[in-house]
Amino acid sequence: PGSKLQVGFNRQVDAEVYLEKLKNNQLTEILNFEEVTAGDTYFIPAGRVHAIGKGILLAEIQQTSDITYRIYDYDRRDNEGNPRELHTDLALDAIDFTIFPEYKTKAVAKANESVELGKCPYFTTNVLDLTQVVD
């Protein structure tokens, strides 16, 4: 309870608005935050701004890569007390500013049946709820 996932934006913004909010330390005003509960599923494609909140365990399916663009860090510090590096210029080219009315997937698990959770050109993710013995 109380765990939040930041995913996408809460209103339509463009690069100019994004940079202005970033410059004025007001980025969280335009970010979308979703309260999550056990079993919730979100499909987050490349380019969608996101951050994983406290208390969330998740499975992140992605191409092998060590690239993460940190655009905001909630004033966190490194081991020496310095602000951690941000990658605002690099991220700007990668951010998808598309707004969506709903970020959470609506898949409902069905007993002994494969249900699609998310799909893109690179993979499909299904859940299989085995509640009975399958012959």
> Is 70 assigned a catalytic role?
yes
**Nearest alpha-carbon partner for 30 in 41, 19, 45:** 19
Of 11, 48, 70, 77, the active-site residue reads 70
Instruction: State whether the Cα torsion 62-45-108-116 is positive or negative.
Output: negative
User: Which residues have a catalytic role annotated?
Assistant: 70
